[in-house]
Amino acid sequence: MSKRIKEMLVTDLQQRIGDAEEMLVVDSSRLDAISDNRFRLALREKDIRILTVKNSMALRALHALDVTALDPVLEGPSSLVFGGEDIVSLSKEIAGWVKELGDELLAIKGGMVEGTTLSSGDVEELSKSPSREELIGQIVGLLLSPGSNVVGAVLGSGGRLAGAVEAIADGAAGGEAGAEAADGSAEDAGDEAAGETDASAEDAGDEAAGETDASAEDAGDEATEEESGESDA
């Protein structure tokens, strides 16, 4: 293979890897064509890519991208596996295929995550960890459990507070109505008292006037009688 062809292949490999920071290395060289095809198609459906290239070319492409964490792993038959949601989901997927196909046909050699080299044991441990979605679900569950209690407590206290405020408002409204009624009663009582006072004064005035007229009339009659007596004498 000419140097020019190798450079083209390395450049293509760099473009395929891109900025992947999480990657596994597997040995799938013992898989038969049918199993290998099924394996690769299943990975592609989950947006996981697998590249089988010579180790020397893979190292050249990785070194050009300043990636050296896979140097200890890229020995013997190797395929680069990367993609998916995260390193945990990727490890789970590959570990599931190892269990299904058998570790004598498909083997995990190691990997890397953010510049750190992973051994095959590390990848196995990662495959047993909760995935990103599972972690999010657990965190949401933890947040909602006490949160629902807090919300219930707040709503309960709020309901009691609202009831108390409403009762106070009703009491204030009743007090105002009572005050208005009392004011109205006092005003009516004052009017009645004034009316009675005026009537009493008027009656007293009429009685006094009647008595004065009667007294004047009696006095006049007595004077007339006296004058008549004197005339007769």
Enumerate the domain spans of the chain.
Answer: 3-129, 130-233
Burial string for 77-90 (b: 16+ CB within 10 Å, else e) reads ebbbbbbbbebbbb
Strand order in the sheet with 48-52: 48-52, 79-83, 22-27, 107-113, 116-119
Lowest mean pLDDT among 23-27, 170-174, 191-195: 191-195
Q: What's CA 151's distance to the chain center, in Å?
A: 10
Residue 199 corresponds to which tokens in the numbers above? 């009537």
Residue 53 corresponds to which tokens in the numbers above? 């290239």
What's the rounded Cα separation, in Å, for the pair 229 and 233? 6
> Tell me, what's the pLDDT at 192?
53
Reported as a pLDDT band with limits 50, 70 and 90, residue 7 is confident
pLDDT at 124 over 80: yes
pLDDT over 90 for what percent of the chain?
A: 45
3-class state of residue 50 by DSSP: strand
Compute φ and ψ for 23, nearest 5 degrees: -150, 145
Per-residue pLDDT reduced to its tens digit, 40-95: 999 999 999 999 989 999 999 999 999 999 999 999 999 999 999 899 999 999 99
Lowest mean pLDDT among 5-14, 49-58, 161-170, 200-209: 200-209
Give the torsion sign (CA, 57, 60, 66, 69): positive
> Tell me, what's the pLDDT at 137?
76
Q: What's CA 149's distance to the chain center, in Å?
A: 13
Indicate the length of the chain as a whole number: 233
Query: Please, are residues 94 and 24 in contact by the beta-carbon 8 Å criterion?
Result: yes
pLDDT at 220 over 60: no
pLDDT at 140 over 50: yes
The better pLDDT of the pair 34, 221 is held by 34
Query: Please, are residues 102 and 16 in contact by the beta-carbon 8 Å criterion?
Result: no
The rounded mean pLDDT for the chain is: 76
The better pLDDT of the pair 44, 139 is held by 44
What's the rounded Cα separation, in Å, for the pair 106 and 95? 9
Reported as a pLDDT band with limits 50, 70 and 90, residue 97 is very high
What's the rounded Cα separation, in Å, for the pair 178 and 147? 46
> Tell me, what's the pLDDT at 2?
77
Per-residue pLDDT reduced to its tens digit, 71-80: 999 999 999 9
| CATH code for the structural domain at 3-129 | 3.30.70.1730
